[in-house]
Structure 1
Amino acid sequence: MQLLASLKTRKLTPEQLFMISVLAVNGGNYLYNLILGRVLGPTQFADAAVLITFLLVLSFIAMTFQLVTAKFSVLFENELFKNFIAKVYKQAFWVGLFLGILIVVFASNLQAVFNTTSSTMFVIFGCGVPLYFLMSVNRGTFQGKKAYKSLSITYQGEMLSRLLVTLGIILVLNIKTSAVIAIGILISFVFGLFPFKAKQFSFKKSEPLEATYSRQIKNFFLLTAFYELTQIIINNSDILLVKHYFESYEAGLYASLALIGRIVYFIAWMFVMLLLPAVVELKKEGKETASILFKYVGYIAGISFIIVLGCLLLPELIINILFGEQYLAMAPLLWKYAIATSMFAISNIFAYYYLSLDKYIPVIISGVFGMLQMLLVVFYHDNLEQVVLMQIIAMALLLVIQIGFFKLETRKQKRLNLK
């Protein structure tokens, strides 16, 4: 009772409310995946995992538009902001439409490459892609303006609708096909759009931006797009390659392993959402930014340690509770996979920090090691343990070099300050 009373008297900041909301959203998304894994079984879950992975790939591509929108929503105001946001909405829609058409046209080819039971799920998924890109720009405006209540609503709407629609069809109507997963994802894009500021989206020609601003936006967009590409490679290539090289049963087992091990990354993403606007604003005001980096790296390192320790000491219990006995074969690999994702999550905080400061080298470093991870898995995939080991090697090297770059930059800055 005392705790409840203290919570009532203490007013939470918008940032704290957003963090609580994100934890709830991640929990809901996790529950969605866990129930699918239990209900569908390893073989069918392998198909669902491909579609979920496609959703993650799409989210990384669309995140380019969200981060660009967030950054320049902090820097631009009044008419300049209106012209900027109208332009970004149009570009995001056309890119989403183009990608959606590609997915629909090549649905049969995607079915063959990833050994799925149907191409229909790719067709349904492709129809929703333009909506997802509009949703991402909308979220970028909320993120940049620190409208965390509206930002929370969009994420909660997307998560809840996908969870309820998909599981409703599976559990109530007893329809267990990959098309059901795709329908749930498509409907969630519609709910994720709200609250939507329709006035900001128009196909009318907007006022052109000054050359200086256009160049700034273009440079940051290309830099962010490249970095998000590295995120796609590092975060999703292993699941897609395993689905390609291994049988569906093993691919389904690996998908459960990846889902549990990636909880660190999903938590880290919450801090990234808060990091970028905070760093941009501090830089705009001429203040130091390293303290923000230290704070979030400390959070992720602490959370990572607890998760890895839990996966090391209680792997069978964790897998049994979350997925069931049929997935227990992955227990010996759980802590190893958690180490790989923990190192990636910490490296990611460094990269987003420098991305906020318009520094390119950490982004290029991530790209190099994203390709290295993929190549290692392509050449070394005799078994699932070897696949995990290749990721540990790549992510350990990435983290060491990112920390080394930070130390070099810090020393360089100190020398400049002494002059």
Structure 2
Amino acid sequence: MQAISKILPKRISGEQLFMLSVLVVNGGNYLYNLLMGRILGPEKFADAAILITFLLVLSFIAMTFQLVTAKFSVLFENGTLKRFIGRTYVHGALFGVFMGAAIFIFAPQLQQVFNTSTAIMFKVFGIGVPLYFLMSVNRGVFQGKKEFKSLSITYQGEMLSRLVITFTLLFLSGLESSVVISLGILISFGVGLVPFKYKNISLSKHIAISKAENKQVRNFFLLTAFYELTQIIINNSDILLVKHYFASYEAGLYASLALIGRIVYFVAWMFVMLLLPTVVALKKEGKPTAHVLFKYVGYIGAIALVIVLGCVLFPKTVITILFGSEYLSMAPLLWKYAVATAMFAISNIFAYYYLSLDKYVPVIISAIFGMLQVGLVAVFHKNLAQVVHMQIVAMAMLLIIQMIFFVISNRKEKRTIID
């Protein structure tokens, strides 16, 4: 887990180390999914894709706790910070227990809704949910304090343990593949808790957090939770709807398409991790922040352009190398899905930027277009191509509106400074 940090020269900054680590983690997660698609085939991969989607949904929900912890780790200090972190751990654990219990209890119903081979996979997954919320709060502390080495280790540990454990059990045990995958996910959550800095925690009631600070935390939590809900809808509703409306074989094909096309989004995620604490710190110091937004939008735009061009020029090559010839029917849709994801990734940077500044309008905009995407796919799903086209329409409109909001908001701020 610490191999990357040991190999690199000491002059590399913490941000550069984290970016490299995220690329390694994303590469490992991609390898995990690609091997799964090749080994299991389209039908069984459809079940695996549901668990992977559940994991993504969980990560978005838990990201609320991580971002709240990260932001106020920048703003709070000393005893107030320790008290805040301790309280956030308690709230995260309680929410995780509630959510995990719900998944465990309603596992049979989830099996019916998503047409999976067994309900046990949902029960095993549910057991691990509380650990994931604890892990997310822990990561939030590292993110806010810019302890990028420790943050990198938690992500590397989660990824590597899931990769090794899952494929070891797939080859050595006789368990159902979906159960093996859920076990690998469960164990990886525990490994991802390392390192865990218990000295950052205080549950002492003698350390008070003022009413104004409590209100600030509550408002940001609700705003972030609402935005992460829109992320869940936009980023995962298509796979869940396709699994519901289409046969397992087609759902498995679509899952492979989604996995390749989302490369842009997963790369963009590392910039979000860097953007939030930077913007919050600059705002705290009264310094301008727009240049941070421009920098990361530029990075993501350039990466997205390269990926989309690759999907346009070599779709069959990309699919054959990554998933195999069984999935080649998805080649014509690959670049289109990548375009939809690229637009979402860029609009996402705008939304997180304003979230860092406690501005809620972009969050509402995302929610509206997230629901629009669900509505369009629910109505127009004659075939998989139509599903992708509906996402392009929704994400194009979302990006345009986010950019218009930025231009209007930026003009208002300049006028206020002049006046």
Q: TM class by shorter-chain length? A: over 0.9
Q: Displacement, 1:11?
A: 1.7
- Per the alignment, residue 414 of structure 1 pairs with 414
Q: Which runs of 5+ in 1 are unaligned?
A: 1-6
One-letter code of the match for 1:168?
Answer: T
2:3 aligned residue: none
Tell me what 1:29 maps to: 29
- Aligned equivalent of 1:154: 154
**Secondary structure of the equivalent of 1:117?**
coil
1:164-218 Cα offsets, whole Å, 9 max, x none, are 0001111344655200000000000000000012344577757442100000000
Contact 1:90/1:202, CA 8 A, preserved across alignment: no
Look up the match of 1:259.
259
Offset at residue 394 of structure 1 (A):
0.2
Deviation per CA, 1:87-142, whole angstroms, max 9, x where unpaired? 10100000000000000000000000000000000000000000000000000000
Decide whether the 8 Å contact of 1:87 with 1:206 is kept in 2: no
Contact in 2 for aligned 1:264/1:303 (Cα 8 Å)? yes
Residue type of the partner of 2:394? Answer: A
Q: How far apart, in 2, do the equivalents of 1:97 and 1:357 lie?
A: 31
Query: Contact between 1:83 and 1:206, CA under 8 Å: does it hold in 2?
Result: no
* 2:190 aligned partner: 190
Indicate conservation of the 8 Å contact 2:131/2:189, yes or no.
yes
CA RMSD of aligned residues (A): 1.4
Query: Partners in 2 of 1:259 and 1:371 — Cα distance?
Result: 22
**Closer/same/farther in 2, CA of residues 188 and 8 from structure 1, 3 Å limit:** closer
Matched, 1:382 2:353: no
3-state SS of paired residue (1:277): helix
Aligned to 1:104: 104
Preserved contact between residue 154 and residue 192 of structure 1 (Cα < 8 Å): yes
What's the counterpart of residue 297 of structure 1?
297
2:201 & 2:178 partners in 1: Cα distance?
33
Superposed, which structure 2 residues align to 1:337-348 within 5 Å? 337-348=337-348
Task: Identify the residue that residue 362 of structure 2 maps to in structure 1.
Answer: 362
C-alpha offsets along residues 250-276 of structure 1, whole Å, 9 cap, x if unaligned? 000000000000000000000000000
CA contact (8 A) 1:40 1:176 kept: no
Q: Quick one: distance in 2 between partners of 1:330 and 1:194?
A: 39
1:72-111 alignment, distance < 5 Å? 72-111=72-111
Residue number in structure 1 paired with 2:4: none
Change over 3 Å in CA distance of 1:49–1:29 after alignment to 2: same
Q: Distance in 1 between matches of 2:413 and 2:143?
A: 29
Native 8 Å contact 2:85 2:202 kept in 1: no
Question: Is 1:178–2:169 an aligned residue pair?
Answer: no
Distance across 2 between alignment mates of 1:36 and 1:9: 35
Verify the 8 A CA contact 2:279 2:289 in the aligned structure 1: yes
Which residue identity is paired with 1:305? L
- Contact kept, 8 Å, 2:82 with 2:201, in 1: the verdict is no
Please report how far the alpha carbon of residue 245 of structure 1 lies from its aligned counterpart in structure 2 after TM superposition: 0.3
- Return the letter of the residue paired with 2:384: L
Q: C-alpha separation between the residues in 2 aligned to 1:403 and 1:269?
A: 19
Instruction: Calculate percent identity across the aligned residue pairs.
Output: 68
Deviations 1:211-232 (A, max 9, x none): 0000000000000000000000
Q: What residue number does 1:403 align with?
A: 403
Is residue 354–residue 360 contact of structure 1 (8 Å, CA) maintained in 2?
A: yes
Query: What residue in structure 1 maps to residue 229 of structure 2?
Result: 229
- Residue 15 of structure 1 corresponds to which residue in structure 2? 15
Q: Does 1:119 align with 2:119?
A: yes
Change in 2 beyond 3 A, CA 1:78/1:8 = closer
1:70 and 1:144 in contact (8 A); partners too: yes
CA distance in 2 between counterparts of 1:376 and 1:283 reads 38
| AA at the equivalent of 2:346 | I
* 1:388 partner amino acid: V
State how 1:321-332 maps to structure 2 within 5 Å. 321-332=321-332
Amino acid at match of 2:20: I
Give 1:316's aligned residue: 316
Equivalent residues of 2:83, 2:203 under 8 A apart: no
Q: Distance in 2 between matches of 1:407 and 1:206?
A: 46
Structure 1 counterpart of 2:392: 392
2:99, 2:208 → 1: CA distance?
A: 26
Q: Which structure 1 residue ranges, 4+ long, deviate > 3 Å from structure 2?
A: 7-10, 172-176, 199-208
Give the match for residue 4 of structure 1.
none
Q: Measure, in 2, the Cα distance between the counterparts of 1:165 and 1:208.
A: 43
CA distance in 2, matches of 1:365, 1:391: 16
- Mapped pair 1:249 → 2:249: yes
* 380 and 78 in structure 1: CA distance in 2 versus 1, 3 angstrom threshold: same
Kindly provide the CA deviation profile for residues 251-309 of structure 1, in whole angstroms up to 9, marking residues without a partner as x: 00000000000000000000000000000000011110000000000000000011001
TM-score, with structure 2 as normaliser:
0.97
User: Are positions 1:141 and 2:137 aligned together?
Assistant: no
Which residue is 1:3 aligned to? none
Matched, 1:307 2:294: no
Q: 1:418 offset after TM fit, Å? A: 1.1
How far apart, in 1, do the equivalents of 2:352 and 2:8 lie? 35
